[in-house]
Every structure is written in structure tokens, then in C-alpha cells.
Structure 1
């Protein structure tokens, strides 16, 4: 089973975004994941990974929970 990791910038106040993404993914795919973890970062990071594959990076795409869930679905 794959694992989801959400690395977010704590000093930037991205915790709420990380929790929103985690909740949306768990509602959709909770039974298909081994884990869904939050990892504290800094310097503006907000990256979502399925196993070691980056499926979302805020430095490359606008933040959209629904789009992140669709991207996770495609990776699973």
C-alpha cells in the first residue's frame, strides 16, 4: 500500500492547508493508503508525495485541494 506525505511550511502558516489536504485524501482513499503523514518544513514548502513521487508542489502549481486529490487518485 502506498503512503502519503504532506510536507508543509509551519512558519508560513500552511498547517490548515495541510490538514485540509490530508482530510480530503483520507475521505477519498483512506482505505487504500498505508499512512498519511504531515511533515513540518520551512522556506515556503508545501509538497505532497505518494511514496517518493511528488504529486503536488506549491512552487510549481496553484494550491487547489480538489486538484491535489485528483492528482493523488491518478498516482494511486
Structure 2
């Protein structure tokens, strides 16, 4: 897997002052995927944007899904960068 495939980008709206939210989510992802991710980038944007991309694919868009719960984003990122990896207690078993 290339470095680009293990990269996450969080684009956030500077006008809405969503940097703290983006930074918190970046911290959550780096803590969970410290061995799997090569980078979590924060990308300033405008117009109410809050989009999470993993391996170049949009995995969460606030305009479609609202603000994410960390577990939902972790599952989406995991599916791109570490398929088959368990998220432990935050992921329900017995599906």
C-alpha cells in the first residue's frame, strides 16, 4: 500500500471556525490508526465544507450525512486503509 493510500485529509470550513472539530477528529484517527496511516492532513476550505477523504476517496461529507460521530469515520477510514482490522470495543460484535 502506497503512502497516498494511507493518507487521510480533513477539509474544514474556516469561515465556520471548524478547525477545532477537524483537529479533534484528526487526533482520533491518528490515535486509532497510528501504525496504518502515514498522514492526516487538515485542509482549510470555505462554504460550510467538512469532508473526510481516505486514500483519495470521500468517506464522509457533512452536507450529505451531517457531522460525523468518530466511530462512523473510523469505520469508513478502516475500510479503506486497514480492511479486516477490528476497532475493538467501539465496534459492535455479532453483526
TM-score (norm 1): 0.91
SS in 2 for 1:33: coil
Which residue does 1:59 correspond to in 2? 63
Matches of 2:23 and 2:16 in 1, distance apart? Answer: 14
Q: Which runs of 5+ in 1 are unaligned?
A: none
Matches of 1:51 and 1:7 in 2, distance apart? Answer: 14
Bigger RCO of structures 1 and 2 (CA < 8 A, at least 6 apart): 1
Which residue does 2:42 correspond to in 1? 38
Runs of 4+ in 1 over 3 A off after TM superposition: none
1:8 aligned to 2:26?
no
SS in 1 for 2:11: strand
Please, which of 61, 66, 73 is the counterpart of residue 68 of structure 1?
73
Matches of 1:30 and 1:37 in 2, distance apart? Answer: 14
Spell out, residue by residue over 1:22-61, the C-alpha distance to the aligned partner (whole angstroms, 9 max, x if none): 0010001022112111000000000001121001100011
More strand by share: 1
State the structure with more CA Rg: 2
Query: CA offset at residue 62 of structure 1?
Result: 2.3
Q: Which runs of 5+ in 2 are unaligned?
A: 82-95
